[in-house]
Chain A
Amino acid sequence: DAGITQSPRHKVTETGTPVTLRCHQTENHRYMYWYRQDPGHGLRLIHYSYGVKDTDKGEVSDGYSVSRSKTEDFLLTLESATSSQTSVYFCAISEFGFPGGTDTQYFGPGTRLTVL
């Protein structure tokens, strides 16, 4: 199994509070991703990173920010959580970033976030 951990694994918070989720990898992979998974929507990309301090937006980036100060850590921040951000969040890593469409993406165990 790829060495990917996410913390916390579960969190309940209130609307309007800031929340930070952490993804840590021990594989030294260059590319890291944050997805959210919701019933009826599947997995959707929030933000991704292609190197330290290099990040870009995904399909559903509104209300989220990310930071990557070290290769091994990718943080996802909800500046002011809303109930629509209740979801399961997955971090993923890949070594090559899908050049030519081929690569392997490894997923973390997920964080279940509930915003009341």
Chain B
Amino acid sequence: TQLLEQSPQFLSIQEGENLTVYCNSSSVFSSLQWYRQEPGEGPVLLVTVVTGGEVKKLKRLTFQFGDARKDSSLHITAAQPGDTGLYLCAGARGSGGGADGLTFGKGTHLIIQP
């Protein structure tokens, strides 16, 4: 089983601060996806990174895929209360079709205090 370790599990910071969430594995993935989940809802895709070393930006969110495609990070600049939620990373194997879904990390619970 390919495991994805996310850290930290819980993070509570003040509005305006910066933060980084990490997603690490000993396995190589074809792609890494980041999702955000709000209470009572299903996860919603934020971004997919495919190429080793790739950096993608989504407003104040910056996503990076490690050079070896084993790890990824999510950096939020000037966090806002609306960023509060559960952030999940997920890896796709991609070989042999990859129809068997994604491997998810356990998630990072992020709370941004006003």
Contacts and interface: CB of A to CB of B under 8 A. Distances in A.
B23 to A, nearest CB: 11
A98 B42 contact: no
| Interface SS, B side | loop
Contact of B50 (A101, A106, A108): A101
Contacts, number: 88
Interface residues of B, number: 28
Interface string A43-71: 11100101000001011000000000000
Interface residues of A, number: 31
B99 A98 contact: yes
Interface of A: 4, 31, 33, 35, 40-45, 48, 50, 56, 58-59, 90, 92, 97-110
6 contacts: A43-B102, A99-B94, A100-B31, A101-B50, A105-B102, A110-B40
Interface of B: 1, 29-31, 33, 40-45, 48, 50, 88, 90, 92-94, 97-102, 104-107
